[in-house]
Amino acid sequence: MSQAQGVTEVTDADFAGEVLAADLPVLVEFTADWCPPCRQMAPVLSALAAEEGERLKVVQLNVDHNPDTTNAYKVLSMPTFMVFRGGEPVRSMVGARPKRRLLAEVADALPGVVFDGAVAAAS
């Protein structure tokens, strides 16, 4: 797996504690070693984790090594990004994207949270 620097790798064993029980909203990238778009996302996730770490936890889950979580959330394509808040998935996005777009989509899923100078609208 293309481990993004500064991004925690989670597994089936620790997903509940690291993601579902997290105090912050969590962006999970479901990824795989064989996925070229996933490798392209590594620097984007590293930058996001470094810049937004106080407001957002960023983690990666290798789908090939963690089938239980992958199947539980019906992940079929890589990369899939899911935003979790309060233990629940609130947004799912499929495919590589630039950092600005990923930030906008995460902000849309987290009303009231400020990312990149913009406040997401309340839903």
Residues that are catalytic: 35, 38
Buried-exposed string 35-73: b where 16+ CB fall within 10 A, e elsewhere: beebbebbebbbbbbeebeeebbbbbbbbeebeebbeeb
Residue 39's beta-bridge partner residues?
Answer: none
Residue with tokens 């019906």: 74
Count CB-CB contacts under 10 A for residue 122.
6
**HSE (side-chain half, CA atoms, 13 Å) at 43:** 3
Here the tokens at position 12 are 């089936």
